[in-house]
Every structure is written in C-alpha cells, then in structure tokens.
C-alpha cells in the first residue's frame, strides 16, 4: 500500500505538470489573434480492490492520467482594427489559408493585399475563396455584381486579382426629361449628361420654343435636340421635332425620337401626359433629367466588406464584387489537429471541411464575417491564472504525498 501511494503521487505530479504546460501555453498566447485555448481532461487510473472485512471491500486508487487535451470552442474577444481587410468570424467557422500542399485553417483574420494584389496573411499564406470570374483576360470587368456564390469546397482557390482593372464605359441609350414649359413665349432649355462609346461625357440639350400658330384648346412647341462635347466645341448631332399638349398641359405627342451620341443612338424620352414634359399655366421652374449609361473607370483598389466579399472600387465611383472569402466548417471542430499557435489541419476526428447550404442547396458561409475587426484569444487572463493556481496546488499536494510515502517506507525499513 505504501508503494502504491508512492506511485499515485508520482502520476499526479507528472500529469499536473502536463496540465500546467497547457495552461501556461494558453496564458502566453492571451494576446495572439485568433488563438484557441486548450483545456486538460484528467481520468482516474484503475484501482486495486482490497478486502477490509468479511463483508466490505474498498478500492485503493492508482493515480490519475491525462485523458485528453480538448480545444476551448468559446468565441474570442472581438476588437476594433484600422484595416478593412482585418476580418473576424462571429460564431463557428474557419478561414482557409494555403502556402503549399493542403489548406490549413485559422481564426486569425489579419489579412492584407500584397504587392501582387493577392489576399494573404502576414506571413505570406494565401487566403482561399471563390473568384467571381467577372474579369476578362485583358483585365476588364465584364459584369458588375453584388455577391459571389461559393463554389464547392474542393475548388476554393487563391484570391488573386489583377493590379490593373478597368470598369468599361456603358454608353447612354435613353435620357428622360422632366420640366414644365409654362405657357409663355420664351424658349425653355433642359439638358442631360450622357456617355458615348468612347467613354466621353457629352451634353444633350433640348430647346423648346412655343409655336407662333397654335390650335386650341391645346398647345404646340417646337423642340431642337443637340448633342455636343462637354466643352461645347464639337457638335455630334442635331434633331428637331414638335411636341403637343392638351388643354390641361399634359403631353399627348412628340415627334422627337432619337439623337446620335458620337456613334450611339440615344432615345429621347419626354414622358406621357404629366410624367415628363408638361405645359401648365404656372411659372417655369428649372427642369431635370435622368440618363442611363456609366462612364468608365480605373481600379482604385480592393477591399473586403462585412460579408466576406472582395470589392473592387473604381475611379468612377462604381464598385463590384470580384470574389468571396470562404468560411469552412467541420462536423467536430474540436478534433482538428493544431499545427502552430493559430493554425490547424483536418484529422479523422474532425472530418473533412464542409460548407453550409441554404434552403436551395447553394453553398453559403453560414456565419457573419465582419471587417475592421479581429478576434482575440478565447482564454482570459483571470481564467488562465485560476487554472494555473489549481494545477500548481495539485502538483504540490502530489509532491507532498510522494515525500510522505517515502518517509513511511523508511520508517518501515527501520523497524
């Protein structure tokens, strides 16, 4: 029994030491971004049954052993950062990063675009996700989109984007005008800014003049449409027509249809009845216009929004998603094997990485990703120090039991 006490204390010292190492590692990483702490789980070793009387048996314990060290799955503290490429996951999920070989997984979202416009970690690992495919080989944006659908897990790739990217011009095809011409004889002008196929902003001006000869009860105006360059030095087209109004001033007819905008036709929309150009007996107020079309632009830079979308911003003020950062999930994330402080790999216990799916069977991140934020360690200093004190006292108690057992053996030998 004395020797069993000796070995019980020895197992306690050894396994308490392992627990102290785990807690110490947690404490040393309290300031590490994306760190997942571990906790030690102990189990009793088999004991020996002894008979103390004819009807009573007791068990002498044989000590303790470390059953496992398990990951703490709690959310870490979310802290503000000053970069829109710094990301934090709210809830379950992992970012995938890759240098060579298989992907590894992390909660550390401190990412940045490098000199090649690759989204990378601080030590050069590439962040994985889905590229939208809306950039042509000659680096022109082919479509403007808000969101990107995640492809399959196995097809996630490095988020690499061109350093030079153009937002192509979209020529104006229609211009709508709104104004009340009143009933006076003074000419009234209304203008619109339009875009031609050569990525120039041109001016489309309409000049309304009340005809000298009228046919009551309505009124008739002549309209002259002129397309010029923005500085007015070049005239691309001039068209004329007439507009007719009813007795109440609502538009009933217009013969002005299209004008040429430096190679592209533009439909002149004057509305109908009281929806556009009117001739109501009220003082004239400045008119307005609305034209489609977009001036082209050059890439200003890339950023990441709160949904994990990689957004390209252009000098014309337009934006488009060009990729999406993937958030991976596991059936048992506590089964992941730690590679380094904040990086993990798949294991038979964790299962393979998966994506969540919506009701339509489409892959989704399944959790919120917020930018300008970073997730800190999920181990607090107070908790870590408390665990360290408990394990240290366990170590001391087991150490004392060894000393006691040793003294008992000495006395037994002396006797």
Q: Does residue 70 sit in helix, strand or coil?
A: strand
Confidence of residue 137 (pLDDT cuts 50, 70, 90): very high
- DSSP secondary structure, 237-285, as one string: EEEEEEEEE-TTS-EEEE---EEE-SSSEEEEE--SBTSSEE--SS---
Domain count, the chain: 3
Same domain, 363 and 313: yes
Task: Please tell me whether residues 197 and 243 are part of one structural domain.
Answer: yes
Range in 194-198, 236-240, 332-336 with the lowest mean pLDDT: 332-336
The better pLDDT of the pair 211, 5 is held by 211
Alpha-carbon span 205 to 193, nearest angstrom: 9
Same domain assignment for residues 190 and 283? yes
Scored b (16 or more CB within 10 A) or e, 123-153 reads: eebbbbbbbbebbeeeeebeebeeebebbeb
Structure tokens at 12: 């306690």
Q: Are residues 122 and 69 in the same domain?
A: no
Domain that holds residue 96: 82-167+298-375
Query: Same domain for 205 and 216?
Result: yes
Compare 388 and 122 and report the one with higher pLDDT: 122
280 and 202 in a common domain: yes
**pLDDT greater than 90 at residue 154:** yes
Higher pLDDT, 74 or 150: 150
pLDDT tens for residues 55-99?
A: 554 545 566 665 666 778 888 989 999 998 999 999 999 999 998
**The pLDDT of residue 21:** 74
Contact present, 183 and 281 (Cβ < 8 Å)? yes
What is the model's pLDDT at position 9?
60
> Is a pLDDT exceeding 90 seen at residue 274?
yes
Domain end residue (candidates: 291, 308, 330): 291
Residues 92 and 39 reside in one and the same domain: no
Helices 2-28 + 381-414 axis angle, to 10: 160
Sequence-ordered strand ranges (E) for 104-234? 104-106, 111-113, 119-121, 126-131, 157-158, 166-167, 174-180, 188-195, 201-210, 219-229
CATH number of the CATH domain containing 243:
2.60.98
Regarding whether 132 and 67 lie in a shared domain, the answer is no
Q: How confident is the model at residue 5 (pLDDT cuts 50, 70, 90)?
A: low
CA distance 289 to 270: 10
**Please, which pLDDT band fits residue 413 given cuts at 50, 70 and 90?**
confident
59 and 91 share one domain: no
Q: Choose one of 267, 291, 315: the last residue of a domain.
A: 291
Torsion of CA 86, 92, 94, 95, to 10 degrees: -30
**Of the residues 242, 274, 291, the one at which a domain ends:** 291
Question: Do 108 and 25 share a domain, yes or no?
Answer: no
Instruction: Indicate whether 17 and 34 sit together in one domain.
Output: yes
Element (H, E) at 7: helix 2-28
Predicted confidence (pLDDT) at residue 107 exceeds the cutoff of 90? yes
* Position with higher pLDDT, 58 vs 297: 297
Residues 88 and 151 grouped into a single domain? yes
| Average pLDDT score over residue span 352-376 | 92
**Average pLDDT score over the chain:** 86
**Contact call for residues 299 and 165 (beta carbons, < 8 A):** yes
């Amino acid at each position: 029994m004395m020797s069993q006490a000796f070995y019980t204390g020895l197992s306690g010292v050894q396994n308490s030491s392992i627990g102290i190492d785990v807690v110490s590692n947690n404490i040393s990483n309290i300031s590490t971004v994306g760190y997942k702490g571990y906790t030690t789980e102990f189990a009793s070793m088999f004991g020996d049954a002894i008979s103390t009387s004819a009807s009573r048996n007791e068990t002498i314990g044989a000590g303790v052993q470390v059953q496992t060290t398990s990951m703490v799955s709690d959310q870490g503290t979310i802290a503000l950062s000053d970069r829109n490429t710094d990301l934090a996951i709210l809830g379950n999920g992992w970012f995938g990063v890759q240098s060579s070989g298989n992907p590894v997984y992390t909660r550390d979202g401190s990412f940045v675009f490098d000199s090649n416009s690759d989204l990378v970690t601080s030590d050069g690992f590439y962040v994985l996700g889905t590229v939208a495919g809306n950039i042509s080989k000659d680096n022109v944006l082919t479509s403007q989109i808000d969101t990107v659908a995640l492809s399959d897990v196995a097809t996630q790739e490095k988020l690499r984007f061109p350093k030079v990217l153009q937002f192509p011009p979209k020529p104006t095809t229609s211009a709508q005008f709104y104004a009340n011409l009143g009933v006076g004889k003074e000419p009234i002008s209304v203008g619109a800014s339009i875009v031609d196929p050569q990525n120039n902003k041109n001016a489309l001006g309409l000049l309304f003049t009340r005809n000298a000869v009228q046919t009551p009860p309505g009124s008739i105006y002549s309209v002259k449409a002129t397309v010029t360059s923005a500085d007015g030095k070049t005239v691309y087209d001039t068209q004329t027509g007439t507009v007719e109004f009813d007795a109440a001033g609502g538009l009933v007819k217009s013969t002005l249809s299209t004008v040429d905008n430096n190679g592209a036709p533009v439909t002149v929309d004057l509305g109908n009845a009281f929806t556009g150009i009117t001739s109501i007996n009220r003082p004239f107020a400045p008119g307005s216009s609305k034209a489609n079309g977009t001036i082209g632009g050059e890439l200003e830079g890339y950023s990441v929004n709160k949904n994990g979308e990689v957004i390209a911003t252009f000098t014309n003020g337009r934006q488009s998603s060009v990729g999406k950062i993937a958030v991976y999930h596991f059936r048992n994330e506590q089964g992941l094997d730690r590679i380094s402080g904040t990086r993990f790999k798949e294991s038979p216990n964790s299962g393979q990485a998966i994506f969540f799916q919506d009701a339509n069977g489409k892959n989704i991140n399944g959790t919120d990703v917020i930018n300008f934020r970073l997730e800190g360690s999920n181990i607090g200093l107070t908790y870590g120090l408390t665990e360290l004190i408990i394990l240290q006292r366990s170590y001391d108690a087991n150490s004392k039991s060894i000393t006691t057992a040793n003294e008992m053996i000495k006395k037994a030998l002396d006797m």
